[in-house]
Amino acid sequence: YSGVLDVKGWGTIQRLPQTSLELWLKADSLDLANGAAVTTWKDSSGNGKDFTQGTVSSQPDFVASDSDYNNKPLIHFDGDDALSTSFSADLNPNNFTVFVVSTVDSDDGNYHGIIDTTNGNTGWLLYARMSGSTNYWQWRTGTGSGQTIISAGNDTVVPNTPSIVTLKMAGSDGAGGGTTTQTLYVNGASAATSSAVFTKKTATSATPILGDVGSFELTGQMAEVIIYSSALSDTDRQSVEG
């Protein structure tokens, strides 16, 4: 007889809302030895948007288990590493919800680039801003003529302690119009909002990059990246964060 099986707490079965899911990068999908170079981070969404790096010196390392990540895997970027994928309109939509599990190695006073999808003043990027005393997550979105800066509170970035950072863009037409609500969440709590307009990236020559934003490179860890091409409901957002 069929019935309902409660798997809460097992930790081995993962379920994500499937509608508008465009990208799912998870470190525990990689079949690599501890310390091995990551040449390809495969997309587990089924959409084939793998992130790669062909230059040996710029390949991050696979860490098979880390106690700060519940003894699960992560990818370590050493400050000179990056992974990228080809331009896709699906990863550059008008509205989106992005989830990132990441942190930095130390409070070194620098900006650490987590994700860059920008081209000039279009698209968006995510930094971990370390200044010694006011360490916070910062999300920047293009308006077409400038950038909107959305910052979480002080001490929202803690070295070697991963955060679940969520970026939600709603109400935008992707071309600097619409009634826009931009929300930055840290570990499920709303950290900052903005009503600024948003202009998405359309330049196919500019590829999405992990671990490098301009000259600001990540010295730190990343375990998961999920992108939806829609503004998820709070119920679905909380489901993914959970």
- The string of pLDDT tens digits covering residues 64-87 is 999 999 999 999 999 999 999 999
- pLDDT given for residue 133 in this prediction: 83
- pLDDT given for residue 9 in this prediction: 46
- pLDDT given for residue 15 in this prediction: 78
Q: Which residues of the chain are modeled with pLDDT < 70?
A: 1-14
- pLDDT given for residue 1 in this prediction: 44
Answer yes or no: are the C-beta atoms of 165 and 124 closer than 8 Å.
no
Region for 187 from its dihedrals, namely left if φ exceeds 0, alpha if ψ lies in -120 to 50, beta otherwise: left
Q: Enter the tokens of residue 47.
A: 């959409």
- pLDDT given for residue 5 in this prediction: 53
How does 194-210 read in b/e, with b if 16+ C-beta sit within 10 Å?
Answer: bebbbbbbeeeebbbbb
pTM: 0.93
Find tokens 């699906």 and name the residue.
Answer: 90
Alpha carbon 129 to chain centroid, angstroms: 15
- pLDDT given for residue 14 in this prediction: 59
pLDDT tens per residue across span 169-181? 999 999 999 999 9
Task: Determine phi and psi for 76, rounding to 5 degrees.
Answer: -105, 130
- pLDDT given for residue 132 in this prediction: 81
pLDDT tens per residue across span 149-165? 999 999 999 999 999 99
- pLDDT given for residue 12 in this prediction: 46
